[in-house]
């Protein structure tokens, strides 16, 4: 990793959105640092099969994240993994980003792509069957479960999702969740 502690742009979060900043160094000649806790790839690496990514028929989340990471590095991005951003000072022209390893980097711009988290129920077995029978994304995984009997938990305010899932599975139980 470069010794520079000042970058034109620092991207916080190495999932698909953060990786999409990969063109900055090459196309905009901006030296760019991508900081991400855990392995770069974000939620994508939890996905055993992605069949809806433009231009790619079917690929594992892990493979796709490796391709993105490799491309980002080939474009000149610096990627710092397994490090979380602890604090930000976005006042003034020069921004400060302090990491969990105690180091502080400065940048002219900070791009926030920290992603999100699926809302879990916290019930027994939920973590164990995540991605193996339990899914948090009807639009992502519904298509893999045609003709299956599904239980979907969705707040009353989410009829669209329920309809979408119903179109695919034809049999299901809707349980209004909290
Ligand atoms: C099991 C599963 C299956 C899915 N399947 C599909 C699918 O088939 N097709 C599809 O289109 N979508 C799918 N999705 C949704 C897709 O993965 C997300 O929409 C996408 O990953 C969002 O990208 P993102 O870059 O915005 O955020 P994330 O992927 O959440 O990445 C954000 C990254 O930022 C890091 N981060 C957060 N805060 C900090 C911090 N303070 N310091 C450093 N790093 C930080 C996070 O750890 C994470 O690595 C699936 C999601 C899951 C969980």
CATH of the domain at 68: 3.50.50.60
Query: What does the pLDDT look like over 116-150, one tens digit per residue?
Result: 888 888 889 888 888 788 887 777 777 767 767 77
65 C-alpha vs ligand 1 centroid, how far in Å?
A: 11
Extract the runs of DSSP E, i.e. beta strands, from 13-103: 32-35, 78-80, 85-89, 95-99
Q: Give yes or no for residue 165 CB within 6 A of ligand 1.
A: no
- Residue 107's domain comprises 4-112
In a domain, 119, yes or no: no
Q: Which of 68, 85, 112 is the last residue before a domain boundary? A: 112
pTM of the prediction? 0.85
Question: Do 95 and 32 share a domain, yes or no?
Answer: yes
For residues 72 and 33, state if they share a domain: yes
75 C-beta closer than 6 A to ligand 1: no
User: How far is the centre of ligand 1, averaged over its atoms, from the C-alpha of 120 (Å)?
Assistant: 15
Q: How many CB atoms lie within 10 A of CB 163?
A: 10
- The ligand 1 atom at the shortest distance from the C-alpha of residue 85 is 42
Question: Between residues 92 and 177, which one has the greater pLDDT?
Answer: 92
How wide is the angle at C-alpha 132 spanned by C-alphas 115 and 37, nearest 5°? 30
């Amino acid at each position: 990793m470069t010794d520079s502690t000042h970058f034109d742009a620092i991207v916080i979060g190495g999932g698909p959105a953060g990786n999409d900043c990969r063109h900055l160094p090459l196309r905009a000649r901006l030296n760019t640092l991508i900081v991400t806790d855990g392995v770069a790839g974000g939620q994508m690496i939890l996905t055993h099969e992605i069949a809806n990514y433009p231009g790619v028929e079917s690929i594992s989340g892990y493979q796709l994240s490796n391709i993105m990471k490799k491309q980002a590095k080939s474009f000149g991005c610096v990627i710092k993994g397994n490090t979380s951003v602890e604090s930000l000072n976005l006042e003034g022209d020069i921004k400060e980003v302090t990491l969990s390893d105690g180091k502080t980097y400065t940048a002219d711009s900070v791009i926030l792509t920290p992603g999100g988290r699926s809302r879990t129920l916290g019930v027994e077995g939920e973590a164990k069957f995540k991605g193996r029978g339990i899914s948090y994304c009807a639009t992502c995984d519904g298509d893999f479960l045609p003709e299956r009997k599904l239980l979907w938990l969705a707040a009353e305010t989410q009829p669209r999702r329920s309809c979408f899932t119903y179109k695919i599975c034809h049999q299901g139980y809707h349980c209004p969740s909290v």
